[in-house]
Amino acid sequence: MKPTGSLTRGAGDAQGLGMTSQRARDRLVMRLREEGIRDLRVLDVMRKLPRHLFVDEALASRAYEDTALPIGHGQTISQPWIVARMTAVLLEGGVPQRVLEIGTGSGYQAAVLASLVPELFTVERIEELLRQARRRFRQMKIGNIRSRHDDGALGWSAEAPFDAIILTAAGEIVPQELFAQLRPGGVLLAPVGPSGQQQLVRMRAGADGVETEVLGPVSFVPLLGGLA
């Protein structure tokens, strides 16, 4: 991948069509509002954050379409709507202080969250994707993300407990170890189920066990075991 340029790349970008400009982001945010995203904090962050710098330059002109895009290694950067929805759900009931994300991928969801919460931790099993995401965090001077190359099913025990945990890859079940790293009252948000039948599920660690709420159908890449 070529160097991705600076945060201010936009109106005069390589495409010359403003496909990666502020206007393109404004249009995306307008569309997210039409599609039911109401949280102004989330919309504001997505209006500012340059999603085109989280994909390969060859795909930059498509970065503000509301669609998932390939990021290599068979993985995808999540669709903006789902990033907005999951972020808004995490902020319901107050801003979580320490958040763990499983599946760094491009780093976009992590960067959105890091703009809204004090401390963001993220784990990725594919080393090359993590390396690229870290470079983006550095370039964009995002200082409150800590990342780790590991199997996210194990969570990040040394940094637990977390106020919220978000999975951006779908397992048939939610790895048990993650509940152990959730603060009492904390929220875990995850796509769950086999390909084609996944549901976004919110789980709350209550006094009498885990309370589960199904939020609707989603489509994510699978949660895989082991490192790559």
Q: How far is CA 73 from the centre of its chain?
A: 17
6 is catalytic: no
Is residue 168 near ligand SAH by the rule CB under 6 A?
A: yes
DSSP H helices, 49-171, are 80-91, 108-114, 127-139
Q: Does 53 participate in binding ligand SAH (rule CB under 6 A)?
A: no
- Asked if 102 and 220 touch (Cβ cutoff 8 Å), the reply is no
User: Which range, of 7-15, 38-46, 56-64, 105-113, touches ligand SAH by CB under 6 A?
Assistant: 105-113
Gap between the Cα atoms of 12 and 182, Å rounded: 45
Instruction: Exactly one of 21, 61, 78, 115 is catalytic; name it.
Output: 78
Closest distance between ligand SAH and the C-beta of residue 11, in Å?
Answer: 25
Question: Which residues are bridge partners to 76 per DSSP?
Answer: 70
CA distance 223 to 168: 8
| Among residues 129, 189, 203, 218, the one that binds ligand SAH under rule CB under 6 A | 129
CB closer to ligand SAH out of 90 and 153:
153
Which of 151, 162, 178, 205 is close enough to bind ligand SAH by CB under 6 A? 151
Which residue among 126, 165, 174, 190 contacts ligand SAH (CB under 6 A)? 126
Burial code (b: 16+ CB inside 10 Å, e: under 16) for 63-91 equals: bbbeebbebeeebbbbbbbbbbbbbbbbb
20 and 63 Cβ atoms separated by less than 8 Å: yes
Give the residue, chosen from 10, 96, 152, 186, that forms a contact with ligand SAH under the rule CB under 6 A.
152
Using CB under 6 A as the binding rule, whether residue 221 contacts ligand SAH is answered as yes
Find the shortest distance in angstroms from Cβ 180 to ligand SAH. Answer: 16
Asked if 42 touches ligand SAH (CB under 6 A), the answer is no
Measured distance CA(62)–CA(108) in Å, rounded:
15
> Binding residues for ligand SAH, per CB under 6 A?
75-78, 102-103, 105-106, 108-109, 123-126, 129, 151-153, 168-169, 221, 223-224
Report the catalytic residues.
78
